[in-house]
Structure 1
């Protein structure tokens, strides 16, 4: 995959290239993780070079980055799984981030991680990365993009609000979550809460399963 598009920062256009990442990008990909997920997010959940190499072995098409003037602005990593609605943890479905659970003949594209460098947030880089997955799902004739989202905004209200109530308030627009609300803006829909999804104190270890259904599947078949 490779294509370029102009995005805007303070009304000034800049060219962004979406492409598959390679082993030459590993140092930058790890640096992006450190910028995007500072403490208290567990540092042992940042990418390692072994994990990134595993992504390229198992599913190079699903290893995607955004490049601006030779610098990586963000990345998104996926695998294909055969999903039937069961609850799961991030570690279980992604093989601890190494995607050894990739199933070539599965039915959905599962998002392992999306990271956008803070200085590029609000420019459309994250949305463009997500759109690249929609293109990939259509190309591969899969049913959906699926993935568990963090809900880091829950930390501010968790002493007086249940996770179920918090998610309901996000859906109605009463609350805005930095991650869940962003993904909703890209076209993904909250499906359900996943308890003990990830070691993530800000989200009280919950994930929000979010989906984008392939609207072209019947036509393509």
Structure 2
């Protein structure tokens, strides 16, 4: 199981943090974090529920991590293992994650797939998402997987949807001409775009588009033949 102690920074002020696997005792607080992060009119039935969280810690506990800052639970990230075919990359979030229940977790899968990342709004300036993403990269290496993968929402695209295609929007984000709250964040975490997928998730801001964002295992992908 995973546990890392480190310091995160609030401006110039260091704050002690712990990244670890979450467990049943954390469930109430994890659901509360979802409520804070996705308040009404976001439907509460889309927050984590106890059955989903139980599956996370039972089926793939290594992929269920959280971060504490000075003893306060501040965020979580969840993943499962899948078999990914780069030749057929298109999929929907509900299909590949089993609607967040991860009953389709494949222990022999070659790809660590990110189901969800959630940070308390009051803790988002501490770069906790990047810290947890790094923990997931370490899991990819430890398990000898091909990659980390996940769909990134494109919430900035809605403002440009009548001016350009989602692919053109992504190209502008990659060039730094436009900043997208999610895609730019994932790029800062070291992930790179694979392709735009349609109807990934019901998400008006993104017009239901997402960008598959990948991090390849450098110890496998960069091997010289």
Establish whether TM, by shorter chain, passes 0.5: yes
Shift of 1:112: 0.2
Q: TM-score, normalised by structure 1?
A: 0.95
The residue number in structure 2 matching 1:209 is 212
Change (3 A) 1:129 1:99: same
Q: How does 1:32-51 map to 2 (within 5 A)?
A: 32-39=33-40, 41-51=42-52
Give the Cα separation in 2 of the matches to 1:157 and 1:189. Answer: 22
The alignment covers a number of residue pairs equal to 219
The unaligned stretches of length 5 or more in structure 2 are: none
CA RMSD in angstroms comes to 1.4
For residue 202 of structure 2, what is the aligned residue in structure 1? Answer: 199
Indicate conservation of the 8 Å contact 1:19/1:65, yes or no.
Answer: yes
Unaligned runs of 5+ in 1: none
- Residue 99 in 1 paired to residue 102 in 2? yes
Q: Secondary structure at the match of 1:159?
A: coil
Residue-by-residue CA offset, 1:139-183 (whole Å, 9 max, x unaligned): 000000000111111122223232111111111101111111000
Aligned residue number for residue 140 of structure 1? 143
Q: CA deviation digits over 1:53-112, x for unaligned, max 9?
A: 111111000000001122111110000001103211000000010111100001010000
Could you say what secondary structure the match of 2:25 adopts? helix
Partner of 1:171: 174
Superposition map of 1:1-221 within 5 A: 1-39=2-40, 41-85=42-86, 86=88, 87-217=90-220
Mapped to 1, the partners of 2:209 and 2:42 lie a distance apart of: 14
- 1:20 Cα deviation after fit: 0.2
The answer to whether the 8 A contact 1:40-1:201 is kept is no
Q: 1:8 to 1:126 in 2, by over 3 A?
A: same
Q: CA deviation at 1:194?
A: 1.2
